[in-house]
Amino acid sequence: MKSFFEAIGTLFTDYLFLPFHMLRELELTNWWAANTLNWIFIIICCAAMVYWIKQLNIFKANNEDDQDTTAHSFFK
């Protein structure tokens, strides 16, 4: 049983965490290159938020947005 858990530990530390170790080493030489993935995720989240707010405004302009607090039974 001990070898099973050691195999899981080896799998994670030697193989699955390898990209994170590479990013950690890259950060010591170039911070911008190491954080490019974070900036991509931030841009995607900002674009999704802008789209969501536009959709909310469309529903509000068409009076399809129900602002009543009793719209759901658990708010009563």
Q: What is the pLDDT of residue 8?
A: 95
Q: How confident is the model over 32-66, as pLDDT tens digits?
A: 988 998 999 999 999 999 999 999 999 888 887 76
Q: What is the pLDDT of residue 63?
A: 81
Contact between 65 and 56 (Cβ < 8 Å): yes
Q: What is the pLDDT of residue 37?
A: 87
Distance in angstroms (rounded) separating the CA atoms of residues 46 and 37: 14
